[in-house]
Amino acid sequence: MTQIIPFVSEASQDERREWRDALPEALADIAVVKPFDTLTEEERVAARVAIVANPDPAQVAALPNLVWVQSLWAGVERLVTELPADGPLIVRLTDPQMAETMSEAVLAWTLYLHRDMPRYMAQQREGTWKGHTLLLPEERTVGVLGLGKLGSAAAQRLKSNGFRVLGWSRSPKSVDGIDCFHGAEGLTAVLAQTDISVLLMPLTAETHDLIGPSQLAQMKPGAALINFARGPIINETALLKALNEGPVGHAILDVFNEEPLPAGHPFWSHEKVTVLPHISAPTITSTASKIVAENIAHFFADGTIPPSVDRERGY
Ligand code: NAP
């Protein structure tokens, strides 16, 4: 019997169009992918796995026999809060290409800060011709907060570029060439030493507002922050204060409490903030579809479900 895989998504029209082409192609030999609103009652009842991207939870609930859902995103904070704890298992997207893309973004923006680009851009606006002391990468310490699939790849890429790299995670970890810290004391130690802190952990109950007034106060004078994780991990009000009054020298923000960043938000025009429109590591449809297809093929072959999110931990 042909297997039907529901595709449940409230993502943008453009994103859905892209997936509606890529998924059926990647899964052609395995199953038929059908958008939720085209499913028959019989197909809804029969579905044991669905592919989701920002789904309406009511539509997921309308698939009563789901065993697991395959997310098309790496961050699953919305699924964790919106799907019932006794609902289907949540499998997030883990794509080696995404780790590559993210580590490239981390290196690019670290180099942007390392080579004083914000300062030279400000000087150009003023018509000022003035060079500043060039530090070597090994004289610059970069802290990577979150040492998972993306953070550990980024940390190693920074290391191979010559930076001194510190890492921080929830549980003790060891990553080749990186000084690793964990727990609350570890965060204090990392923040106190780093010139550039890169956020790459998931948004959970524990990491919400993790970087607030006291953590920002622990940073070195002039230190920079790069947030490629999720907006609510940094307290925006505290960050604005730390940018205006010290110690934070510059913030590169790809993610925000509200996206798109609302018109008139102080970050848009702040001279010490670089605003990016959530582009550090987008899901690449071509590679992600193949991974999704492999996961689903294994499930149909022998019932294997890929590692799923720990609902208690939130990631
Ligand atoms: P992952 O493999 O699950 O790794 C998460 C890391 O964060 C782990 O090292 C984990 O520690 C650490 N962590 C979790 N909670 C923590 C806490 N309370 N204190 C300290 N460390 C904590 O996740 P990933 O694939 O690397 O992705 C990380 C996040 O990047 C995603 O959740 C997503 O939000 C974000 N992301 C953003 C974009 C973008 O375009 N901006 C793209 C993709 C992903 P342990 O090692 O101890 O478990």
Q: Which tens digits make up the pLDDT trace of 287-311?
A: 999 999 999 999 999 999 999 999 9
Structural domain contains residue 311: no
Residue-level pLDDT at 193: 97
What is the band of 260 on the pLDDT scale with cuts at 50, 70, 90? Answer: very high
Domain that holds residue 194: 98-275
Structural domain contains residue 312: no
Compute the average pLDDT of residues 240-259: 98
Same domain for 191 and 105, yes or no, is yes
- CB of 92 within 6 A of ligand 1: the answer is no
Residue-level pLDDT at 296: 97
| For residue 255, pLDDT beyond 80 | yes
> What's the rounded Cα separation, in Å, for the pair 314 and 19?
26
What is the band of 2 on the pLDDT scale with cuts at 50, 70, 90? Answer: confident
> What's the rounded Cα separation, in Å, for the pair 26 and 45?
24
Same domain for 155 and 50, yes or no, is no
Compute the average pLDDT of residues 30-36: 95
Same domain for 11 and 145, yes or no, is no
Same domain for 60 and 142, yes or no, is no
Same domain for 199 and 119, yes or no, is yes
Query: Residue 107 maps to which CATH number?
Result: 3.40.50.720
Same domain for 167 and 263, yes or no, is yes
- List the beta bridge partners of residue 178: 175
| For residue 24, pLDDT beyond 80 | yes
Compute the average pLDDT of residues 35-53: 97
CB atoms within 10 A of CB 226: 28
Structural domain contains residue 244: yes
Structural domain contains residue 207: yes
Compute the average pLDDT of residues 2-31: 93
- CB of 254 within 6 A of ligand 1: the answer is yes
Q: What is the chain's mean pLDDT, rounded?
A: 97
Residue-level pLDDT at 223: 98
Catalytic residue numbers, as ranges: 230, 278
Structural domain contains residue 310: no
Same domain for 270 and 292, yes or no, is no
Pocket test for ligand 1, best of 90, 169, 206, 280 (most atoms within 8 A of CB): 169
| For residue 1, pLDDT beyond 80 | no
Residue nearest to atom 1 of ligand 1 (CA): 148
What total of structural domains would you count in the chain?
2
Cα 131 to ligand 1 centre (Å) = 37
Structural domain contains residue 313: no
| For residue 237, pLDDT beyond 90 | yes
CB 63 within 8 A of CB 4: no
Q: What is the pLDDT of residues 164-195, one digit of tens each?
A: 999 999 999 999 999 999 999 999 999 999 99
> What's the rounded Cα separation, in Å, for the pair 173 and 83?
30
**Residue 150 Cα: closest atom of ligand 1:** 26
Same domain for 115 and 198, yes or no, is yes
Q: How many residues does the chain have?
A: 315
What is the band of 20 on the pLDDT scale with cuts at 50, 70, 90? Answer: confident
Same domain for 120 and 241, yes or no, is yes
> What's the rounded Cα separation, in Å, for the pair 7 and 126?
52
> What's the rounded Cα separation, in Å, for the pair 124 and 118?
10
Tell me the three-class secondary structure of the chain, residue by residue. CCCEEEEEECCCHHHHHHHHHHHHHHCCCCCEEEEHHHCCHHHHHHCCEEEEECCCHHHHHCCCCCCEEEECCCCCHHHHHHCCCCCCEEECCCCHHHHHHHHHHHHHHHHHHHCCHHHHHHHHHHCCCCCCCCCCHHHCEEEEECCCHHHHHHHHHHHHCCCEEEEEECCCCCECCEEEEEHHHHHHHHHHHCCEEEECCCCCCCCCCCECHHHHHCCCCCCEEEECCCHHHECHHHHHHHHHHCCCCEEEECCCCCCCCCCCCHHHHCCCEEECCCCCCCCCHHHHHHHHHHHHHHHHHHCCCCCCCCCCCCC
Structural domain contains residue 309: no
Percent of the chain clearing pLDDT 70 (strictly above):
100
Structural domain contains residue 262: yes
Residue-level pLDDT at 116: 98
CB-count burial class (<10 Å; 0-12, 13-18, 19+) for 208: middle
What is the band of 86 on the pLDDT scale with cuts at 50, 70, 90? Answer: very high
Cα 148 to ligand 1 centre (Å) = 6
Same domain for 91 and 110, yes or no, is no
Same domain for 64 and 29, yes or no, is yes
CB 8 within 8 A of CB 38: no
Same domain for 29 and 172, yes or no, is no
- CB of 240 within 6 A of ligand 1: the answer is no
| For residue 160, pLDDT beyond 90 | yes
pTM: predicted TM-score of the whole model, two decimal places? 0.97
> What's the rounded Cα separation, in Å, for the pair 144 and 173?
13
